[in-house]
Chains A and B, each alone.
Chain A
Amino acid sequence: MKANMKKDCNDCGAEINVASDAMAGEIITCPDCGANFEIIEKSDLKIEVKPAESIGEDWGQ
């Protein structure tokens, strides 16, 4: 079983724990500042993220 990965928060620099089975499109949240990031690419070596879209009025069902 693969180990979880670490990613530094783009906003505050705190360490975000990323589940081993996380995939592109999932949202990760910084435990320190609460910023949300969308995973855009993930390999065994690196994780690329971008700021996540904020929740829209038309989200969810």
Chain B
Amino acid sequence: MVEFCIIYDKVRFEEKELYDKARRRGLNTHIIDAKSISIGTNSKKNDLDLGDIVLQRSISHYRGLYLTACLEFLGFLVINSFKVGEICGNKLLTSIMLAKQNIPTPTTHFAFSSESLSNLINKTGFPLVVKPIVGSWGRGVFPLRDSEAANMIVELREEDDNPLSRIYYIQEMVKRPPRDLRCIVVGDRVVAAVYRYSADKEWRTNIARGGRTEEASITKELEDITLKAAKVVGGGVLGVDLMEDDTRGLLVHEINNTVEFRGASKVAKTDIANAIIDYSIEAARK
């Protein structure tokens, strides 16, 4: 029987749901705090009691990413892999991977100093959107509608100690309805799709910003672009976010490798946690 391990650093709805459902199915299930683990270059796989397959669910991107690297070094099969986490946890890498493989995505620019940002804006004009390269829940995502807003962001970023703050990820402001789409991909299936509507007086659609979800139909067009985008970043258990551009149609703007599915599970017809468990079992048997 497959032994299954969930790695967390903070138990949320998703980890609890996965743990409860795996146990209810009679699977030998471990749930381990990432913060309790230490690994050395002389460690052996048997030093850790993690079973056959590890679901990396750490909420901290870097903790999850580098722990995954260590677990893969020891020979564990981790969902999602280090490579997938590295790309999806970084918006710049995701954007260039999507563009390289011709997946429709918003036009995005990267500037490597405040001066190059200023030159870029002189060429593009406003409105634009600035996003941090790493981070989520809509944190640090702001519309830039004029020079005043841009100058404010630059000043804040320049004072920040984080070296990534000096790399500017600037995206066109897509003309879209006040919603986006979150598709949950498990292997080669889109198991759920929801619209995320922004909260009152909020432009961002993140659930963490008070957004609400509504079930969306998984049309052939949505399924095709979502699965292609998931494949480009290496596949696995992913949250693919898309916008509906008024003229160009669907654009993939972000892919999440530790996908939160609380909102989606309220409206989805498929049991997302069980779909992830099925996929993990299948991966362990391969």
Please state if B33 and A24 are interface contacts (CB–CB under 8 Å).
Answer: yes
Question: CA of A26 to CA of B31 in the docked complex: distance in angstroms?
Answer: 12
Residue of A nearest to B11 (CB): A25
A59 touches B60 (CB 8 A): yes
Interface size for B (C-beta < 8 A) is 28
Establish whether residues B259 and A61, one from each chain, have CB atoms under 8 Å apart when the complex forms: yes
A23 CB contacts on chain B under 8 angstroms: 11, 16, 19, 31
A60 and B208 within 8 A (CB)? yes
Which range contains the number of A residues in contact with the other chain? 10 to 19
In the complex, which of the residues A26, A53, A58 has the most CB atoms of chain B within 10 Å of its own CB atom?
A58
CB of B11 within 8 A of CB of A57, answer: no
Chain A contacts of B132 at CB under 8 A? 57
* A9 nearest CB across to chain B (Å): 19
Question: Is chain A's interface secondary structure helix, strand, loop, or mixed overall?
Answer: loop
Instruction: Contact check, A25 vs B136: say whether CB atoms are below 8 A apart.
Output: no
Taking Cβ atoms with an 8 Å cutoff, the residues of B that contact A are 8-11, 15-16, 19, 31, 33, 59-62, 89, 132, 134-137, 139, 162, 208, 239, 256-260
Interface residues, chain A, with chain B CB atoms under 8 Å away? 23-27, 38, 52-53, 56-61
